[in-house]
Amino acid sequence: MGVDLRSMLNPKSVAIIGASQNPEKVGHIILQNYINSGYAGKLFAINKDAESILGVKAYRHIGEIKERLDLAVIAIPAPFVPQVLEECGKAGVRSTIVVTAGFEEIGQKELQDQIVEISERYKMPMLGPNCLGVIDTRARTDTLFLPTYKLSKPGVGYVSFISQSGAAGSTILDLIAGEGFGLSKFISYGNAAYIDESDILEYLMNDDDTKVIIMYIEGIKNGKKFIEVARKVTKKKPVVVLKGGRTSVGQQATLSHTASLAGDYQVYEGIFQQFGFTIANDLNDLLYYAKTLVSEPAPKGNRIGIITNGGGAGVITTDAVGYTRELKLAELSDKSKQLLRKKMPPLVNIRIPLDLAGDAGGDRYETAVAAMRDDPNIDMIIVIALFQTPGADSGVVAKLVHFKADIEKPMIVISIGAEYTQIHNRMMEESGLPVYDSPSAAVKALAELYKYYNYKGRK
């Protein structure tokens, strides 16, 4: 195993160096977030001018604390970071997170090299600098210096998120909170001066609370090291990656953002494809693919059954399936056709896509899903529920959620609409049923699900 991040993600004792009485200061916000998250370990504030901050006793420097600390979060101006890291090393601190910016990303390579040398000398793993740090939802660790009222935090789940960019990371965290799947860990690593993306990926590969890994990266620090980890990780769990800096102008932007050399995107893409990474082209892809991969079982094949209560939506979804290279439309078995003809009203055409008509309620959906669940010709099911139609209401949701609890095939929902629709969508999402707001997004997510398990099955 590579770098052990347990003292960083699940620390029993944390010192905030640069904790401040000023609510606008980074150190104050980090301390406040630890308190708000319900962190149960020991908290220490380091501030030479205060006796206590937010009810937490303050110390002038870390050497005054008479116990060994698992983690020090450093939020002070860059020129003072080397001295403080030296003090952390002498005090036996197990790991540090340097959220401070002002290092190699602005040309201060010598200063960054200095803090790396100190961390290596004391064998004290350091995350950052120029990063947001970490969240561990189970350990209630939260080093982010973003006010709680500005950022929705995801609930507890099994998706872990690695982000080179703090700003992109916080945006995606906010979006995850609204997508219905929970978070296990978030790690923002910034300049990757000591701990890099490969170290984090390897740690999460062996983390029992992580079932799917998503990544936003701009560059890879050590290509050979990354390839060695990439070769192993997707044999155990899916990795969805969004690469920033694909174009020449984007590559220039990454250099000033996190001091990262982005390199030729085609090289990265080749590595990702070779080792079975799921490649996202934008933020929506990153979220939609993760939502499907964390919730759905491995499909036995690529044949798609479609149920709809709107003919047009069924046609558009069928077209989306046709546009993919991975998926194909299923054909109902004779047994399913006989069952459906017997139970469906005459206006329902017994074929895929199976259009239940606009007056379809929960009972009709129940019959259709049960038939496709039991049909050996169907490997995955897409259910379209348009809540604007007369028959669609919470009864449809109840039936779909009931099936989701024990169905062994991937089953996802397409549901498009405003307030009334969103109420029902949240009900389904909270019950573990993935919902998508467009046919193309839903179909692409199932295609990536199939691609990943097909890759894994070949290895």
Q: How far apart are CA 130 and CA 102, in angstroms?
A: 7
| 1-131 and 151-295 in the same fold | yes
Q: How confident is the model at residue 247 (pLDDT cuts 50, 70, 90)?
A: low
Residue 263's pLDDT is 59
| Mean pLDDT, rounded, for 359-369 | 97
Phi, psi of 176 (to 5 degrees): -60, -40
pLDDT in tens, 84-117: 999 999 999 999 999 999 999 999 999 999 999 9
Q: Where are the alpha helices (DSSP H) in 181-258?
A: 197-205, 223-233, 248-258
* Residue given tokens 């953002």 in the structure block: 257
197 vs 248, residue with greater confidence: 197
Q: Which two tokens stand for residue 398?
A: 């109840």
Q: Which residues pair with 57 in a beta bridge?
A: 52
Strand order across the 212-217 sheet = 141-142, 133-136, 183-188, 156-163, 212-217, 239-243, 278-280
The alpha carbon dihedral of 425, 427, 432, 433 has a sign of: negative
CATH, domain range 1-131 = 3.40.50.720
pLDDT in tens, 127-139: 999 999 999 999 9
User: DSSP letters along 249-309, please?
Assistant: HHHHHHHHHHS-----HHHHHHHHHHTTPEEESSHHHHHHHHHHHHHPPPPSS-EEEEEES
56 contacts 1 by C-beta, under 8 angstroms: no
Average pLDDT of the chain?
A: 93
Q: How confident is the model at residue 148 (pLDDT cuts 50, 70, 90)?
A: confident
Beta strands in 330-441 (DSSP E): 354-355, 380-384, 411-414, 435-436
Domain ranges of the chain: 1-131, 151-295, 298-458
Q: Which two tokens stand for residue 419?
A: 């307030």
| Mean pLDDT, rounded, for 286-299 | 97
Q: Which of 54-63, 131-140, 266-275, 382-391 has the lowest mean pLDDT?
A: 266-275
Q: Which two tokens stand for residue 377?
A: 């010709």
Nearest to 123 by CA among 100, 92, 145, 144: 92
Q: Which of 211-225, 255-269, 366-380 has the lowest mean pLDDT?
A: 255-269
196 contacts 162 by C-beta, under 8 angstroms: no
Q: How far apart are CA 111 and CA 105, in angstroms?
A: 11
* DSSP-assigned letter for residue 239: E
Class of domain 298-458: alpha beta
Q: Which two tokens stand for residue 277?
A: 């990474």
Nearest to 259 by CA among 242, 279, 245: 245
CB atoms within 10 A of CB 285: 18
Q: How far apart are CA 73 and CA 390, in angstroms?
A: 56
Beta strands in 117-228 (DSSP E): 126-127, 133-136, 141-142, 156-163, 183-188, 212-217
* DSSP-assigned letter for residue 220: -
pLDDT at residue 215 greater than cutoff 90: yes
Residue 252's pLDDT is 47
- 292: Cβ contacts below 8 Å, ≥ 6 apart: 410, 412, 434, 445, 446, 448, 449
Q: Architecture of domain 151-295 in CATH?
A: 3-Layer(aba) Sandwich (3.40)
pLDDT at residue 159 greater than cutoff 70: yes
Phi, psi of 280 (to 5 degrees): -95, 140
Q: What is the pTM of this model?
A: 0.93
CB atoms within 10 A of CB 42: 15
* Helix, strand, coil percentages for the chain (3-state, nearest 5): 45, 20, 40
Type of residue numbered 441: A
Q: Beta strand 42-46 with 56-59: parallel, antiparallel or unpaired?
A: parallel
Helix (H, G, I), strand (E, B) or coil at 96: strand
Nearest to 403 by CA among 373, 425, 377, 375: 373
Nearest to 112 by CA among 96, 123, 101: 101
- Count CA within 13 A, CB hemisphere, residue 246: 11
In the chain, the percentage of residues whose pLDDT exceeds 70 is 96
pLDDT at residue 255 greater than cutoff 80: no
Q: How far apart are CA 409 and CA 397, in angstroms?
A: 18
Q: How far apart are CA 423 and CA 20, in angstroms?
A: 41
